[in-house]
Amino acid sequence: MSPSPRRTRTISRGIHLTAALLLGTYVYAPDHVTDGMRMPMMVLVVPAATLTGLFMWKQAAVRAWFARIGSGRGGPRESDRMRSGS
């Protein structure tokens, strides 16, 4: 059972806001405080903020894509196949 769209949106917002707070801390804190934060910021926080931002922006398209994959229709659309000539 997948989470409801509202629950998914709430989780995504929470992750996005947490990432924003960490990014703000990293940018505005003194250098001696942020020395150990560089690698986690590059590897975890920035990608998490990017992915959750994209998900919140394109949530309907992402959910439709997952629904198509789940129903076994994840391949090219009929109109795409007709255009390519196959």
pLDDT of residue 72: 73
CA distance 24 to 85: 51
pLDDT of residue 85: 60
pLDDT of residue 8: 87
> Phi and psi for 74 in degrees, rounded to 5?
-80, -10
pLDDT in tens, the chain (86 residues): 678 888 988 999 999 999 999 999 999 999 898 888 889 999 999 999 999 999 999 988 988 988 898 877 655 665 555 666 65
User: Domains of the chain: which residue ranges?
Assistant: 5-84
Nearest to 18 by CA among 52, 43, 58, 57: 52
